[in-house]
Amino acid sequence: MSDIIQLLPDHVANQIAAGEVVQRPASVVKELLENAIDAGATNIKLLLKDAGKTLVQVIDNGKGMSGTDARMCFERHATSKIQKAEDLFNLSTKGFRGEALASIAAIAHVELKTKQENEELGTSIKIEGSKIVSQDFISTTKGTSIAVKNLFYNIPARRNFLKSETVETRHIIDEFQRVALAHPTIAFLLHHNNNEVYHLKSSNLRKRIVSVFGAKMNEKLVPIDETTDILTIEGFVAKPEYSKRKRGEQFFFVNDRFIKSSYLNHAVVNAFDGLLEQGAHPSYFLYLKVPANTIDINIHPTKTEIKFDNEKALYAMLRATVKHSLGQYNVAPLLDFNRDANLDTPYHLNSNTKSTQVPKISVDHNYNPFKEENTRTSNVSFTPQKSTESWESLYTSTAVTDAEKQSELFDNQQEVKTQKTFQIQRKYILSSIKSGAVLIHQSLAHQRILYEEFLESITVKEANSQQLLFPVKISFSSSEIEIIYTIKTELENAGFSFDEFTKDSVTIKGIPTSVTESKITIILEELLSDIDLEVPDASFSHFDVMAKSFAKTLSIKTGTQLSEREQEALVNDLFSCKEPSISPFGKPTFKTLTLNEIDNLFNS
């Protein structure tokens, strides 16, 4: 029988390896930036075209490569960073596998230019699909430039698999931010399609964080600083009142390397114990330094997870340090004062002794929910089309007029004085209906109402906009400005109007009528983080993301006490929605309990 096993040709092996190293343009960005840092660069430029699909180029002023090394660096397992297996346990560089450039060169058109300090001439190499196309001497400055063009040109399946430009750009910016935050003293420049996105000067940690995330970050930061025998912790946590509803700005760096660790995250969250609203995530930028031989970076191919020798001790120290700093900066007492103690007390109804938050819905005081439908005016700025069959069929199957239906809904409508709705635990509204009772989740119901209102105004109607007396200037990071700019038209449809865009701020002169001025920043911030987290597919629509995001941010929250009128308004607005029974995020907004079901509760 003949032998059938062969070694794969190098370029095939490289393509296979590339699958592991390079998932998308952002992976190339990460590898090239890390190489530049390992080369000792103090100035790094990242140039992109079409979200990196057409070009990712990194230019550094690092130590450069000799002519031989320039050729060698594209070989698999070619690295200058480790020599023997033991070196793996004492890493001080970012790279060490020696497969990034080999992988990238297997699946793109790559142009390398490099020169060492004391050499007269540098080297230029072109390589396509692992094949060297040309090698020349060139005169160039010290350092290295690597241009990666037409990524996945020879693997159409991978190229087609890439997401929209927005998404790929977002991934690249994430990688860029991680590297830039890990190395505040290195100057970075990021250009996308010839627009400058970031221009970061050599600076310190605090300034770097602020220049990446925008000027408003400065006031949020509480410094952290602790040195012990086994580690040092430096950095910042954001004050709890600035915590986010989505995990976003959470950064751990271990020995200047960005890592993900749910274990360490837990330690930080734990230190915020009692200071965060439910479901809120603290922002943090924490820099840990531990002896290189006490960590193992090698367990994950893209190296964002690492293993610590003394995990438990790190956990305890991190938690204690963050807790201590929060206390020292007097963040804790301030927040306790702001908390509404009533939320923790059961059976608290209708108390006027505590100042409670004013619910954020406007009420038409003349509005009578039991009047004929066609004479009523909506108590919010938008009147959705009535499509009542779906919900009303829950209550009655006989054909009756709209007015009759409306009045049959509530069985005690004759007695004007009787309360028709009850708020339970500042969370639910209970209402008696003909067939039994309906229990409405106030926050989810309000989300549905606002969602339909926004969706309609964004897509169909002239938006209801209010001009601000004084335009508001809000600072954002330059990448956030980019995103706001790309959805400007949709935002205008929703009722925003903009005055001036700069690299790191936007001036707003008009807002939707349903938004109050104090909420502008938060709703835009939330929107950005929602767009960020959205995993877009073909049906990706900014309209929908925007309407959902606004609805979620502006909805009445659990814990808000509502007056009887407000409760009724909410109930009626909900049942005027096109789809009253589910929230924009797919949760039920109300449940009905039929008389039978209630009876059964007592018959078992």
Q: Interface with ligand ADP by CB under 6 A: which residues?
A: 31, 35-36, 39, 60, 62-65, 73, 78-81, 95-102, 144
d(CA 116, CA 64): 5
Give min distance, CB of 73 to ligand ADP, in A: 3
Q: Which is nearer to ligand ADP, 302 or 385 (CB)?
A: 302
Give min distance, CB of 100 to ligand ADP, in A: 3
Give min distance, CB of 120 to ligand ADP, in A: 18
Q: Which is nearer to ligand ADP, 69 or 392 (CB)?
A: 69
Q: Which is nearer to ligand ADP, 18 or 317 (CB)?
A: 18
Using CB atoms within 10 Å of the CB of residue 68, give its burial: 0 to 12 exposed, 13 to 18 middle, 19+ buried: exposed
Contact set with Mg ion (CB under 5 A)? 35, 95, 100
Residue nearest to ligand ADP (CB): 95
Interaction partner, residue 59 (Mg ion, ligand ADP, none; CB < 5-8 Å by kind): none
124 in Cβ contact with 138 (< 8 Å) = yes
493 in Cβ contact with 457 (< 8 Å) = yes
Give min distance, CB of 104 to Mg ion, in A: 10
Q: What is the DSSP string of 31-76?
A: HHHHHHHHTT-SEEEEEEEGGGTSEEEEEE-S----HHHHHHTTST
Give min distance, CB of 35 to Mg ion, in A: 4
d(CA 179, CA 172): 11
Q: How many helices (H) and strands (E) does the chain have?
A: 19, 22
Interaction partner, residue 255 (ligand ADP, Mg ion, none; CB < 5-8 Å by kind): none
Point out which residues pair with 57 in neighbouring strands. Answer: 47, 147
Interaction partner, residue 144 (Mg ion, ligand ADP, none; CB < 5-8 Å by kind): ligand ADP
Residues 6+ apart with CB under 8 A from 601: none
109 in Cβ contact with 128 (< 8 Å) = yes
Residues 6+ apart with CB under 8 A from 63: 39, 40, 116, 117, 142, 143
Give min distance, CB of 110 to ligand ADP, in A: 11
Residue-wise burial string across 127-139, b where 16 or more C-beta atoms lie within 10 A, e elsewhere: bbbbeeeeeeeee
Q: What is the DSSP string of 278-320?
A: TT-B--EEEEEE--GGGEE-TTSTT----EETTHHHHHHHHHH
Interaction partner, residue 98 (ligand ADP, Mg ion, none; CB < 5-8 Å by kind): ligand ADP
**Inter-CA distances, 275 with 239, 243, 327, 341, Å:** 9, 10, 11, 13
Q: Which is nearer to Mg ion, 36 or 551 (CB)?
A: 36
Interaction partner, residue 447 (ligand ADP, Mg ion, none; CB < 5-8 Å by kind): none
Give min distance, CB of 381 to Mg ion, in A: 56
Q: Which is nearer to ligand ADP, 78 or 363 (CB)?
A: 78
Interaction partner, residue 426 (ligand ADP, Mg ion, none; CB < 5-8 Å by kind): none
Interaction partner, residue 481 (Mg ion, ligand ADP, none; CB < 5-8 Å by kind): none
Interaction partner, residue 122 (Mg ion, ligand ADP, none; CB < 5-8 Å by kind): none
Q: Which of 558, 577, 362 is nearest to 455 (CA)?
A: 577
Q: Which is nearer to ligand ADP, 87 or 532 (CB)?
A: 87
Give min distance, CB of 30 to ligand ADP, in A: 10
Q: Which is nearer to Mg ion, 35 or 265 (CB)?
A: 35
